[in-house]
Amino acid sequence: MIVGSLLSTAALGLLAGLVLGPRHSRLWLGVTLGGTVASLAAALTVLLGFEPTWEWSGAFRIGGELPHLRFDAISALFLALLSVIGGAGAAYSRDYWSDHHYPKSAGRGRFWWSALVLMMGLVLVEANGLHFLIAWELFTVSAYFLITLENRGRKVRAAGWLYLAASHVGTLCLFAFFATMASRTGSWELGPQLRDCAALAPLFWLMLAGFGVKAGIFPLHVWLPSAHANAPSHVSAILSGMALKIGVYGIVRFSGWLPTPAQAGWVVIALGAVGALFGIAFAFAQNDLKRLLAYCSVENVGVILIGLGAALLGAAHGDSPWGRLALVGALLHVWNHGLFKALLFFGAGSVLHATGTRDMSRLGGLWPKMPWTASLFALGAVAVSGLPPLNGFVSEWTIYLGLFDAGIAHSAVAWATMPVAIVLGMAGALALASFAKAGALTFCGAPRTKRTAHAHEGGAWMIGPMIVLGAACLAIGLMPALLWPLIGRVAGAWNPAWAVADAAPASLFTLGYVHVALAVLVVAAVLVLRRRSQTNGLRRGLTWDCAYAAPTARMQYSSGSFAGMASGWFFWLLRPERKVQRPHGPLPEGAYRVERVPETVLEKLIGPVGEGVLRVSTAVRRLQHGRLQSYILYLVAGLAALALLVLLEGTL
């Protein structure tokens, strides 16, 4: 019963936020934080097993259907993340998107923020297909208004349009999915009972496409980079940290509830591997800090899908334990990616706030001015690269264990899991490269332009949420075994065969101890080395540049040159646009080299298809010109054709 009242409190808080948002910023922040804390408590109550599930059905009809809400462990996992990011983002926006800086859009931003969080929460608890679609649409639209909060920029409007168009292609698939499901089962009710209706299996593909657009599965991710880059940073954080996860939620939810076709696991794991490697290859080649983060989300959704695909394969092969391990890794990665990606987007937002640019080739040397942001961004970079002792490693390690175990078990599935494990390793190495680049080029070295001269640290309301998220990343890294029962419960809700209450594997405990020891040793070693260097004497001098007398900031490696080598290996995929003017003659006049990595999938793949559709539509549109006479002619011709058809059928 506690869960129900907590959820109602949360909903009330967010509804109050809708009302208060436009005018009263402080009250809004208070009720939003209160609401998210209540929903976090509700989620933890279910995850910790105090209450198994919570269900509620109304006695009135909305759109001809009785409202039906169901809150189980899977919903709780996602709601917990939504609460953390929703609350942290609200706090962050207090200074970042304040009434003082954005008098016109700040109030609107608060309104839509409450709406977005509320609608995502509603999607998570809906157990009626029709209402699910309504909540889904409202969530999509709220996100659109948040992306286009600063709607004067052309790029922002274009990004918003692209997002809206892509989302609706996905929604169209979902309409088809839910409607077909309703017609085959005779009701809009959603639930584990769907599993018994074998006729629903082919709908899996429709579901995967529909939710895949929102989740940003490669190559359906086309809306993602520009929307994330151009939205205000706290919005990018919730888009990347949570909105993508709502897509993942859909896939997790319905792959658990629906009967799955035999190829499902193979396809999902392949999509995951492709997304992980290609997503991070694109990320590494970006010059825009927020675009890099956005593409990295494509990679991380790929990692989650790898785990989920392995879980589907495991479930199809006699509910093998390695499938459960991979699933737990994937679900934990949902949390982890949400936490560190929100942290990194907040960091990028602070940089943008302080310097006015997202271009890494114009940044650099920010750490003396923004020490907190720099260190927290570095922490997030270590976490997102999947390095011990932080949380990213824990989830990737669990997924690896699942993949390796499948190989060791010598099942046919190993033909998928072993290559995928290798791909995951390569993606990890590229992620490390991308984030060494993103962090170090932004915050270290010499300032590349004068923009950084007036940079300043963000206020306490901007740093505070980042500290909370960073602490969460560290805590999950140091105490992974504590989360096992929570996530295990979610895995049990996904596949009842895996619903066994067991203690965390001993290796996870040991990993936690090793991480703690590592953290302690790291701190100790840093202190010793610093102490030793100071007692020996520290002297400052110019960076050694081979005795060159006049080094300038422009001689540093830039974002493009740093990525040059590895993205050269992916040129067939990235298709960079190059303009080169080589120096000629003994006294060359001008030489330049411009290189840009376009939105390749959008411009080279989706673009031409869209143009083709548009051309056909334009041609067909000529038939519709408003002349009544011709319309009557169409009718007569149509009737004649029908009559002919009937006559011919009689003769044949």
Partner 1 sequence: MILTILYGILRLALWLLLAPLLPGIINKVKAWVAGRRGPPVLQLYYDLARLWRKGVVLSTLASPGFIAAPAVGWVAVVGAAALLPLGPAGATLGFRGDVLLLIYLLALARFCTVWAALETGSAFEGMGSVREVSYAVLTEAAILAAVLSLCVHSGGLSLAVILTPSAGAGAALLAAGLFTVLLAENCRVPFDDPNTHLELTMIHEAMILDHSGPPLAAILHGASVKLLLFSVLLVQAVLPLGDFSPLVATGVLAGGVLATVVGVGLVESLLARFAFKQVPFLLTLAFLLCLFALLVAWKGGAA
Contacts with partner 1 in 483-512 (CB under 8 A)? 505-507, 510-511
User: What residues numbered 175-234 form the site for partner 1, per CB under 8 A?
Assistant: none
Q: Of residues 433, 472, 487, 574, which one binds partner 1 by CB under 8 A?
A: 433
Residue 430 found at the interface with partner 1 (CB under 8 A): yes
Stretch that binds partner 1, among 107-115, 145-153, 227-235, 565-573 (CB under 8 A): 565-573
CA distance 439 to 380: 9
User: What residues numbered 391-410 form the site for partner 1, per CB under 8 A?
Assistant: 393, 397, 400-401, 404-405, 407-408, 410
User: What residues numbered 314-343 form the site for partner 1, per CB under 8 A?
Assistant: none
Q: Is 225 exposed, middle or buried (0-12, 13-18, 19+ CB in 10 A)?
A: buried
Which secondary-structure segment (H or E) carries 56?
strand 54-57
Residue 561 found at the interface with partner 1 (CB under 8 A): yes
| Sequence-distant (≥ 6) Cβ neighbours of residue 210 within 8 angstroms | 170, 171, 172, 173, 174, 176, 177, 250
Shortest separation between residue 440's beta carbon and partner 1, angstroms = 4
Question: Can you point out the beta strands (E) in 225-305?
Answer: none
What are the C-alpha distances in Å from 216 to residues 285, 338, 630?
18, 14, 45
Residue 429 found at the interface with partner 1 (CB under 8 A): yes
| Sequence-distant (≥ 6) Cβ neighbours of residue 96 within 8 angstroms | 232, 233, 234, 349, 350, 353, 458, 461, 462
Q: For residue 438, which of 289, 274, 259 has the smallest C-alpha distance?
A: 289
Stretch that binds partner 1, among 91-99, 146-154, 166-174, 540-548 (CB under 8 A): 540-548
**Please, which residue, 555 or 613, has the CB nearer to partner 1?**
555
Stretch that binds partner 1, among 201-209, 518-526, 572-580, 638-646 (CB under 8 A): 518-526
Q: One symbol per residue from 276 to 315: x for binding partner 1 (CB under 8 A), - otherwise; what is it?
A: ----------------------------------------
Residue 374 found at the interface with partner 1 (CB under 8 A): yes
Are 169 and 613 in contact by the 8 Å Cβ rule? The answer is no
Residue 539 found at the interface with partner 1 (CB under 8 A): yes
Residue 450 found at the interface with partner 1 (CB under 8 A): no
Stretch that binds partner 1, among 91-99, 174-182, 297-305, 416-424 (CB under 8 A): 416-424
Query: Residues touching partner 1: how many (CB under 8 A)?
Result: 79
Q: Is 67 exposed, middle or buried (0-12, 13-18, 19+ CB in 10 A)?
A: middle
DSSP bridge pairs for 595: 578
**Please, which residue, 482 or 518, has the CB nearer to partner 1?**
518
User: What residues numbered 44-63 form the site for partner 1, per CB under 8 A?
Assistant: none
Q: Of residues 565, 587, 620, 646, which one binds partner 1 by CB under 8 A?
A: 565
Are 352 and 358 in contact by the 8 Å Cβ rule? The answer is yes
Q: Of residues 45, 336, 395, 556, which one binds partner 1 by CB under 8 A?
A: 556
Q: Of residues 501, 538, 609, 652, which one binds partner 1 by CB under 8 A?
A: 538
What are the C-alpha distances in Å from 208 to residues 227, 243, 600?
21, 16, 23
Backbone angles phi, psi at 594, to 5 degrees: -115, 130
Q: Of residues 105, 385, 395, 411, which one binds partner 1 by CB under 8 A?
A: 385
User: What residues numbered 587-616 form the site for partner 1, per CB under 8 A?
Assistant: none
Stretch that binds partner 1, among 140-148, 199-207, 285-293, 554-562 (CB under 8 A): 554-562
For tokens 């390695």, the residue is 322
Q: Of residues 165, 199, 500, 555, which one binds partner 1 by CB under 8 A?
A: 555
Q: Which amino acid is at 535?
A: T
Residue 569 found at the interface with partner 1 (CB under 8 A): yes
Stretch that binds partner 1, among 89-97, 246-254, 433-441, 572-580 (CB under 8 A): 433-441
Residue 566 found at the interface with partner 1 (CB under 8 A): yes
Residue 522 found at the interface with partner 1 (CB under 8 A): yes
Q: Which conformational region is residue 26 in: left (phi greater than 0), alpha (psi within -120 to 50 degrees), or beta?
A: alpha
Shortest separation between residue 414's beta carbon and partner 1, angstroms = 7
Task: Tell me the three state secondary structure of residue 128.
Answer: strand
Q: Of residues 63, 153, 368, 608, which one binds partner 1 by CB under 8 A?
A: 368
Find the Cα–Cα–Cα–Cα dihedral 35, 40, 41, 46, rounded to 10°: 130
| Sequence-distant (≥ 6) Cβ neighbours of residue 530 within 8 angstroms | none
For tokens 């824990």, the residue is 394
Which secondary-structure segment (H or E) carries 265?
helix 264-285
CA distance 1 to 67: 18
Residue 532 found at the interface with partner 1 (CB under 8 A): yes
**Please, which residue, 239 or 430, has the CB nearer to partner 1?**
430
**Please, which residue, 224 or 432, has the CB nearer to partner 1?**
432
**Please, which residue, 147 or 382, has the CB nearer to partner 1?**
382
CA distance 607 to 162: 11
**Please, which residue, 456 or 530, has the CB nearer to partner 1?**
530
Q: Of residues 536, 617, 618, 629, which one binds partner 1 by CB under 8 A?
A: 536
Shortest separation between residue 21's beta carbon and partner 1, angstroms = 39
Q: Of residues 418, 471, 479, 516, which one binds partner 1 by CB under 8 A?
A: 418
Residue 543 found at the interface with partner 1 (CB under 8 A): yes
Shortest separation between residue 165's beta carbon and partner 1, angstroms = 35
Task: Tell me the three state secondary structure of residue 642.
Answer: helix
Cis peptide before 219 (omega within 30 of 0): yes
DSSP per residue, 353-418: HHHS--BGGG----TTT-HHHHHHHHHHHHHHTT-TTSHHHHHHHHHHHHHHHHHHTT-TTHHHHH
Shortest separation between residue 385's beta carbon and partner 1, angstroms = 6
